[in-house]
Structure 1
Amino acid sequence: MKRLVCIILVLLITLVSAVPVYADNGATNVNPQGVISPQFTYISYLNPGLSIYSSGLATCVGAAAGYFDSYTTVVTAELQKSSGSSWSKIKTWTASATGAAIASVEGEYYVVHGTYRVCATAKIYDTSGKLLETQSLYSPMVTY
């Protein structure tokens, strides 16, 4: 029961802390102040999440969605551990969805002491399977 409550809390936190993304309407990506801001063309939603419990159980979440009904969204959540000045891949989970539905994946993995993050990568494919866009976002780092 405690585990179910924790999973529900992680999902709620993930949904509440969503990073909004906007499609490029053909205009330049420079705002009036001259600052360049990212805008995704096919991805409408991309969110990574990570929590590590006192037992060492890491719950990793990745969620993504596209704008168009006929396209497929594939999301990958990759648990990474800090190794000095680089990051090493520990475990990967993948899910997909069609249309504007959210592709969401959640995985669990027991970790040893260290610093971790989740990299959520969204890929959008058209109806013929052609890759249209790939973007990645990282969760905040968590030290266990």
Structure 2
Amino acid sequence: MLKKAFTILITVFFASFNSITPFVQESDKVIKNSGSKLIQPCWTEISLFSNTFSISDSGLATVESLLYAFDVDEIKINVQLQQLKNGKWITIKNWTSSSTGIYCSLGEVWYVMSGYSYRMVSTGSVYENNSLVEQTTYISDIWEY
């Protein structure tokens, strides 16, 4: 009886770990997530890349991006606000921020026209000795306005 209970306990224990799906991302792949939930892949230099996109009832689009990286010389973030027009994503606004510290952040707002779909595309890049060592891209969920 004790052996059977122990076997069931071990099976449940390992099954609970089996249900966790790992998320590994290479630097040329795209991260997709919902809202401001964070998906954190296994980067080499980048410690955190967090992004948020929303559109208010009045049409005010808010983009926020934050990237932490240690032991690098420069961090850059490029954010594009894109509009779906005639089946193609068109960049309607572009922002860039850079830093020589351990983090770089960018937060901007822009009014959008009604009747279209919008998304945010954010690219984070880190440099050592003026050479790109790691880069990742985030694409937000689509917002209708």
Structure 2, unaligned stretches of length 5 or more?
1-34
TM-score by length of 2: 0.67
Letter in 2 for 1:65: Y
TM-score by length of 1: 0.68
Letter in 2 for 1:53: S
Distance 1:69 1:134 in 2: 15
Of 87, 90, 93, the residue aligned with 2:89 is: 87
Distance 2:74 2:52 in 1: 22
User: Is 1:21 paired with 2:41?
Assistant: yes
Please list the CA deviations of residues 21-59 of structure 1 after superposition, one character each: whole Å capped at 9, or x if unmatched.
21xxxxxxxxxxxxxxxxx33222223221111111111
Deviation at 1:74, TM superposition (A): 0.6
Contact 2:63 2:109 survives alignment (8 Å): yes
Letter in 1 for 2:39: V
Letter in 1 for 2:59: G
1:50 alignment partner in structure 2: 53
Structure 1, unaligned stretches of length 5 or more?
1-12, 23-39
Distance 1:70 1:92 in 2: 24
Letter in 2 for 1:140: D
Deviation at 1:132, TM superposition (A): 1.4
Contact 1:69 1:98 survives alignment (8 Å): no
2:25 alignment partner in structure 1: none
1:96 alignment partner in structure 2: 98
Distance 1:70 1:93 in 2: 22
Of 44, 57, 62, the residue aligned with 1:41 is: 44
Letter in 2 for 1:57: L
Aligned-residue sequence identity (percent) comes to: 30
In structure 2, the residue corresponding to 1:20 is in which secondary structure? coil
Deviation at 1:90, TM superposition (A): 0.9
Contact 2:75 2:125 survives alignment (8 Å): yes
User: Is 1:136 paired with 2:105?
Assistant: no
Please list the CA deviations of residues 44-97 of structure 1 after superposition, one character each: whole Å capped at 9, or x if unmatched.
22232211111111111122222x334321111110111243210011112223
Deviation at 1:111, TM superposition (A): 0.3
Distance 1:136 1:98 in 2: 20
Across the aligned residues of Structure 1 and Structure 2, the Cα RMSD in angstroms comes to: 1.8
2:111 alignment partner in structure 1: 110
Distance 1:45 1:85 in 2: 32
